[in-house]
């Protein structure tokens, strides 16, 4: 606020104001406004723990350097799962807020989803009816290594279950789906039924 009260460009401008009340309090008002802008700008750059910023582009670099430290990176290849010739990307999960970023990669020998909008509607309707506490936040096309795929972001909230980290990967013939069917107690057999119901007529093949 000193820059508005002492000699200088802004001080001269303020001295020309005829109203004594405005002339007295304007430096404080301008100073507080500047401080507020600085604070709000700084807050906007702070990482939001457990929140997904949908305006961000989810590149591998962004995830590697910007996701909260609590997020867990899962690679099924290191766990001994076969990917049947498909390149499998990484999954990041926030175990505390249960927000999951899910990558879905298209198989090399399978055509892309012919009607993307219809697929999205069916996915939302089927998944929402099976698990009312779970919301699909967004489904969008995504390219990985130059190949067409899908990016699915889910808000996974299960009642009567404690999900601590992403461990298991589920495969289908048509797409490689990354789902976080993980429990703190044991592998959930219902996850297989869930994927079968979601995919409908698509053939389901378990990696186990």
Instruction: Compare 83 and 43 and report the one with higher pLDDT.
Output: 43
pLDDT at 32 over 70: yes
pLDDT at 113 over 50: no
Among 54-63, 81-90, 128-137, 175-184, the range with the most confident prediction by mean pLDDT is 128-137
> Cα(146)–Cα(28) distance, rounded to whole angstroms?
55
Q: Which pLDDT belongs to residue 114? A: 47
pLDDT at 70 over 50: no
CB 202 within 8 A of CB 173: yes
> Cα(98)–Cα(74) distance, rounded to whole angstroms?
15
Which neighbouring-strand residues pair with 171? 176
Q: Which pLDDT belongs to residue 30? A: 75
Q: Which pLDDT belongs to residue 100? A: 39
Q: At what angle do helices 116-130 and 190-199 cross, to 10 degrees?
A: 150
Closest to 57 in 3D by CA, of 123, 149, 140, 134: 140
Q: What is the dihedral of CA 155, 198, 91, 114, to 10 degrees?
A: -110
Half-sphere exposure of 102 (CA within 13 A, CB side): 28
Query: What is the helix (H) or strand (E) element at residue 147, kind and residue range?
Result: strand 147-155
pLDDT at 29 over 70: yes
pLDDT band at 202 (very low <50, low <70, confident <90, very high): very low
Q: Tell me if residue 207 falls in helix, strand or coil.
A: coil
Q: Which pLDDT belongs to residue 36? A: 86
Pairing of strands 135-144, 147-155: antiparallel
Residue % of the chain over a pLDDT of 90: 0
Q: Tell me if residue 181 falls in helix, strand or coil.
A: coil
User: What are the boundaries of each domain within the chain?
Assistant: 2-45, 60-199
Half-sphere exposure of 151 (CA within 13 A, CB side): 16
Q: Which pLDDT belongs to residue 80? A: 44
Closest to 184 in 3D by CA, of 165, 168, 170: 165
> Cα(195)–Cα(179) distance, rounded to whole angstroms?
9
Instruction: Compare 41 and 138 and report the one with higher pLDDT.
Output: 41
| Averaged pLDDT, 86-103 | 38
pLDDT at 144 over 60: no
CB 124 within 8 A of CB 140: no
């Amino acid at each position: 606020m000193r820059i508005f009260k002492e000699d200088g460009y802004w001080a001269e401008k303020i001295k020309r104001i005829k109203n004594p009340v405005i002339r007295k309090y304007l430096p404080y008002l301008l100073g507080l406004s500047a401080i507020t802008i600085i604070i709000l700008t700084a807050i906007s750059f702070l990482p939001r723990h457990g929140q997904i910023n949908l305006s961000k582009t989810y590149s591998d670099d962004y995830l590697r350097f910007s996701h909260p430290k609590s997020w867990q990176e899962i690679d099924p290849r290191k766990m001994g799962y076969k990917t049947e010739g498909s390149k499998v990307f990484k999954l990041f999960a926030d175990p505390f807020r249960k927000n999951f970023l899910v990558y879905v990669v298209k198989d090399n020998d399978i055509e892309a989803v012919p009607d993307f909008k219809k697929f999205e509607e069916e996915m939302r309707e089927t998944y929402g009816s099976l698990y009312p506490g779970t919301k699909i936040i967004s489904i969008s096309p995504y390219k990985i290594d130059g190949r067409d795929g899908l990016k699915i972001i889910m808000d996974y909230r299960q009642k009567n279950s404690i999900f601590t980290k992403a461990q298991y990967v589920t495969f289908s013939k048509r797409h490689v789906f990354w789902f976080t069917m993980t429990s703190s107690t044991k592998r959930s057999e219902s996850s297989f039924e869930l994927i079968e119901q979601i995919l409908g007529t698509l053939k389901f093949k378990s990696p186990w």
